Amino acid sequence: MVTEGTALDGQGREDGQPAGKVPTGRADVVAGLTVAAVGVAVTAIAVQYPLGTLRRMGPGYLPVVLGALLVLLGLLIALSRPDAGMRIARQRARPILCVLGSLAVVVAVVDAAGLVPAIMLAVPVAVAAEDGGSLLHSVVLAAAIAALVAAIFVWALGVPLPLVRF
Amino acid sequence: MELLANLAMGFEAALSPVLLFYCAVGVTVGTMVGVLPGIGPLVAISVLFPLTFHVPPDAALIMLAGIYFGAQYGGSTASILLNLPGTASNAVTCLDGYPMARQGRAGVALFMTTIASFAGGCGALVVLIVLTPVIVKVALSFGAPEYFALMVLGLLAAATLSVGSPLKGIAMVVLGVLLGLIGTDVNSGQYRFVFGLPALADGLNLVALAMGLFGVSEIVGRLVAGDVTGRPERVGWAQMMASRDDMRRSRMPMVRGTLWGVLCGILPGAGPSLAAFLSYGAEKRVSRTPERFGHGAIEGIVAPEAANNASVQAAFIPTLSLGIPGDAVMALMLGALIVHGIQPGPNLIPENPGLFWSLVASFWIANILLMVLNLPMIGLWVRLLTIPYSVLYPAVLVFISVGVYSLRLSSFDVAVVLVCGAIGYAMQLVRLPTAPLLLGFILGAPLEENLRRALLISRGDLSVFVDRPIAATLLALSVALVAAATLSALLRRRRAALALREDG
């Protein structure tokens, strides 16, 4: 689980780190500076909204306060490096691109052509994330998933989804 | 007896075919995702969340709750048979469950964990029934300052009590609150952080956010890390007979596990994983034979399994009585209520007593169904462990996109899933926790609303948070929580630094 198992799952921990190398805590610096940068952006945008007073808070009041707080917290993370022992694990680009790519295919296709074409195109992209997935495997899988989606959403629940658009 | 009459009313509703059906769907799906390592309850709930838009609110909640409960029951299966936790909260069960399987006692382990889960669940439900109305009675006297203080406490507790750095947790809560403010400001009509996108005027879509942060990022994480494979042994009725000695050894650990679970369930941020860990540690400490732990001690599996199931059921206490979710799953439960126009908070039960009591009754039925599902049908669930991940994850991805798309036929929402998935995975890489972000998101708008109201009443005087005793106590607790978390983090660093120096 991403949420609560971070200390348990072990992935991306010190494994893969050459023995004897001092942990740099680079992950924390990246995290902290990114959080701080988001804080700066939030504050910069929010000061353009009416601030109001403490008695009558305008739409900008809380965002400005929280944006500033985010900058502070981000800098604290970068400086104190709470997870200094952790390193960013080596990444393989293919699974990341394929999973996100399959969603992008859905976004691009679904409005124009409907759900079934979107699924038929998105599943092969998703399958490509792993080695050894044949085209036949992905087409059969895509067809099975499309049938399941149609059965659950359209026939069982009666949601009017556009399965195919011309 | 008012309580009995209410319960009877609840059971009458819960035994209606519709609720029974959704309860059964929930627990079956929950057991399934619990058994399968790689998809946890949060992913399953985010995938099925869109379905809840199309069914009545009580059925929706019962189905989602069933998934959460079922995952706790099913999660121990892979822990015991494959030494792979089915969900994070079953990780501790590996320690003694897998050695039991190696000794040929897998059947006994599976039987006893199911019994322990049932005991933990029932214990927590009794506490839920007794405690929730009491908390509601107190909470009904709360005004805006108390609510604001309560939300601050809940958010900080969730940020600091969970595994990992409290500093990062708090940063993510703040970010979540800011994400919750995206859209139209209710007071002034001003657009905030909309970036000219009309689809953002109503705010960021909760489902899209949750699916991206949890569902998509988890799939990416697993694929990058490498696949999960394993071959479990066969288990049937005959192997499940626990001896009288097993029963005797398990009794007290179950009781203590349930207590840990209830405690962790009520505290925001603690949750089932911490409950399982704490109860395992406690059992080892009170045991007269601590050396047996790690080598197949039955106490080491029943206590954590009772604890994690008790915890997920007790988590409904703050969620239903105060409207403060303790973890990301509870945040989604509140989301399901909000979708149906039911405002969470202390008014929820007085205004919808039928909903509350039918929920309680359904929880009980869910536990009974889970016993039935897990004992005679265990062989089926074990077979499930042979489904390869390469078939599962494309299906989950498609269900996520179709589910989000079905809400308002908007491909923009699917794009939000994509972006949140990328962000969620990046957060995972640099160890920024995602659950506090979701809690902040859910509580963001009500937090601002109550802060505004409190300061309007007090004419801008901040002392309103100090002069009112309940608000002051809650805020003092928040400060104490942050101070304690900071202190313990500093101590841990000190110790780690010392250890490093000694090693070098």
What tens digit of pLDDT does each residue of B245-287 get?
A: 888 888 899 999 999 999 888 877 677 888 888 888 888 888 8
Do A83 and A97 have their domain in common? no
With CA atoms as reference, report the closest residue to B117 among B181, B158, B71, B178.
B71
**Residue B295: what pLDDT?**
86
Q: Which of A99, A105, A119, A135 to mutate to test the interface with B (most CBs of B within 10 A)?
A: A99
> Do A79 and A108 fall into the same domain?
no
My answer on whether A33 and A12 are in the same domain is yes
Higher pLDDT, B227 or A80: A80
Nearest chain B residue to A149 by CA distance is B399
* Interface A:B, Cβ pairs < 8 A: 247
Name the residue in chain A with its Cα closest to that of B410: A111
Same domain flag for A57 and A134: no
A109, A82: one domain = no
- Residue B234 maps to a domain: no
* One domain for residues A77 and A132: no
Q: Of A90, A111, A140, which marks where a domain is finished?
A: A90
- Residue B276: alpha-carbon gap to chain centroid: 13
* B450 pLDDT higher than 80: yes
Print the domain residue range for B98.
2-228+239-503
B87 found inside a domain: yes
Least confident of A7-16, A95-104, B184-193, B438-447: A7-16
CA B45 to chain centre: 10
Report whether pLDDT(A16) > 50: no
Q: Is pLDDT of B10 > 60?
A: yes
Q: Name the helix (H) or strand (E) containing B152.
A: helix B144-161
Residues of B whose CB is below 8 A from A3: 40, 42, 88, 214, 327-328, 433-435
Give the minimum alpha-carbon distance from A56 to chain B in angstroms, rounded to a whole number.
6
| A164, part of any domain | no
**What is the per-residue pLDDT across B181-228, written as a single tens digit (0 to 9) for each?**
999 988 888 899 988 888 898 888 888 888 888 888 888 888 887 755
In a domain, B233, yes or no: no
Number of Cβ within a 10 Å radius of residue B235: 22
Most A CBs within 10 Å: which of B387, B432, B495, as the mutation test of the A interface? B432
Domain encompassing residue A108:
93-156
Dihedrals phi, psi of B159, to nearest 5 degrees: -75, -35
**For residues B181 and B175, what is the distance between their CA atoms, to the nearest angstrom?**
10
Cβ contact, residue pair A69, B174, below 8 Å: yes
Asked if A145 lies within 8 A of B216 by C-beta distance, the reply is no
* Candidate from B394, B432, B452 with C-beta closest to A126: B394
Would you call B167 and A1 a contact, using CB atoms and an 8 Å cutoff?
no
- How confident is the model at residue B389, as a pLDDT? 78
Q: What would the pLDDT profile of B295-325 be if each residue is shown by its tens digit? A: 888 999 999 999 999 999 999 998 888 888 8
Residues A102 and A79 in one domain: no
Contact call for residues B225 and A90 (beta carbons, < 8 A): no
Residue B183 lies in a domain: yes
The percentage of chain B sitting over the pLDDT mark of 70, rounded to a whole number, equals 95
SS3 of residue A16 by DSSP:
coil
Query: Does residue A48 form part of some domain?
Result: yes
Number of other CB atoms surrounding residue A98 within 10 Å? 21
- How many domains, in total, are found in chain A? 2
Identify whether A30 is part of a domain: yes
| Cβ-Cβ contacts under 8 Å for A141 (sequence gap 6 or more) | A123, A127, B391, B394, B395
Same domain, A4 and A75: yes
A162 part of a folded domain: no
B31 in a structural domain: yes
**Do A110 and B411 lie within an 8 Å CB cutoff?**
yes
Q: Is residue A21 part of a domain?
A: yes
Among A6-20, A63-77, A133-147, the least confident range: A6-20
Name the residue with higher pLDDT: B435 or B183: B183
- Name every chain B residue with its beta carbon within 8 A of the beta carbon of A102: 394, 397
Give the distance from CA B173 to its chain's centroid. 17
What is the predicted pLDDT for the residue at A24?
53
Q: Which residues of B touch A161 (CB under 8 A)?
A: 402, 405-406, 409
Whether the pLDDT of residue B179 is over 80: the answer is yes
Q: B122-175 pLDDT, tens per residue?
A: 999 999 998 988 888 888 888 889 889 988 988 888 788 766 788 999 999 999
B224/A91 CB distance under 8 A: yes
Last residue of a domain, one of A74, A90, A106: A90
- Tell if the CB–CB gap between A6 and B433 is shorter than 8 Å: yes
Same domain for A30 and A109, yes or no, is no
Q: Pick B431's closest partner by Cβ from A69, A74, A83.
A: A83
Same domain, residue pair A9 and A83: yes
pLDDT beyond 80 at B108:
yes
- Which position has the token pair 């679904």? A110
Q: Which of A66, A90, A114 is the last residue of a domain?
A: A90
Q: Assess if residue B110 is contained within a domain.
A: yes
Q: B220 and A50: CB-CB below 8 Å?
A: no
Q: Which residue did the predictor score with more confidence, B411 or B270?
A: B411
Q: Select the more confidently predicted residue: B237 or B111.
A: B111
The total number of structural domains in chain B stands at 1
CB contact under 8 Å between B175 and A46, yes or no, is no
Q: Same structural domain for residues A1 and A52?
A: yes
CB–CB contact A3 B434 (8 Å): yes
Chain A residue with Cα closest to B92? A8
Residue B396 lies in a domain: yes
Number of neighbours of residue B303 by Cβ within 10 angstroms: 36
Instruction: Nearest by CB to B87, from A1, A102, A115: name it.
Output: A1
- Do residue A1 and residue A82 come from a single domain? yes
Record the tokens describing residue B278, joined without a space. 């704490």
CA distance B162 to chain A (A): 7
